């Protein structure tokens, strides 16, 4: 039997530009920052369109949302499982390049009785720019 409830994943010019801008961005921009980047290429795009497309890209697993301890949501153009470090002073978020701790999920399952779908891990600290008194 064919499942007709699956949304067709149509690519739009706006979605393409949003994804391109997010993937080339340094760090992990907020929706407002993505909106500002995209408006340089698509001056008539609305903030609502950016939010809708970010949600669509999230649902499709093409991007990730980063928002553990920060004050607002940030987006990550790298959908692969990885960890982040956040500066406690300026809020900057960077990727940490270590292998995911997949074995911890199995251990948590055996201890808790839960079926674990995944985990997120965020480290916190003070970035080098803040330590040196520079604006990042």
pTM, 2 dp: 0.76
Q: What are phi and psi of 113, to 5 degrees?
A: 85, -5
Query: What is the Cα–Cα distance from 3 to 35, expressed in whole angstroms?
Result: 35
- What pLDDT shows up at residue 8? 57
* Residue 71: C-alpha distances to residues 43, 56, 108 (Å): 28, 23, 28
Residue that terminates a domain, selected from 29, 61, 78? 78
- What pLDDT shows up at residue 6? 44
Across the range 49-75, mean pLDDT stands at: 87
Domain carrying residue 125: 81-136
- What pLDDT shows up at residue 70? 58
Take residue 43 and report the two structure tokens written for it: 């001056």
CATH number of residue 54's parent domain: 1.10.10.10
User: Has residue 4 got a pLDDT over 90?
Assistant: no
User: Has residue 1 got a pLDDT over 50?
Assistant: no
- Report the number of distinct structural domains present in the chain: 2
- What pLDDT shows up at residue 136? 61
- What pLDDT shows up at residue 15? 96
- What pLDDT shows up at residue 27? 83
Across the range 81-110, mean pLDDT stands at: 88
User: Has residue 130 got a pLDDT over 70?
Assistant: yes
Same domain, 7 and 64: yes
Same domain, 15 and 38: yes
């Amino acid at each position: 039997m064919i499942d007709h409830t699956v949304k067709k994943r149509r690519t739009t010019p706006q979605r393409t530009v949003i994804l391109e801008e997010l993937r080339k961005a340094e760090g992990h921009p907020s929706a407002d920052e993505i909106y500002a980047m995209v408006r340089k290429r698509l001056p008539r795009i609305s903030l609502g369109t950016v939010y809708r497309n970010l949600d669509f890209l999230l649902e499709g697993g093409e991007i990730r949302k980063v928002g553990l301890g920060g004050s607002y949501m940030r987006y990550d153009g790298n959908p692969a499982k990885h960890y982040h470090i956040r500066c406690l002073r300026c809020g900057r978020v960077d990727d940490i390049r270590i292998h995911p701790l997949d074995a911890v999920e199995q251990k948590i399952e055996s201890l808790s009785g839960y079926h674990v779908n995944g985990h997120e891990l965020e480290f916190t600290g003070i970035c080098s720019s803040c330590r040196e008194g520079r604006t990042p």
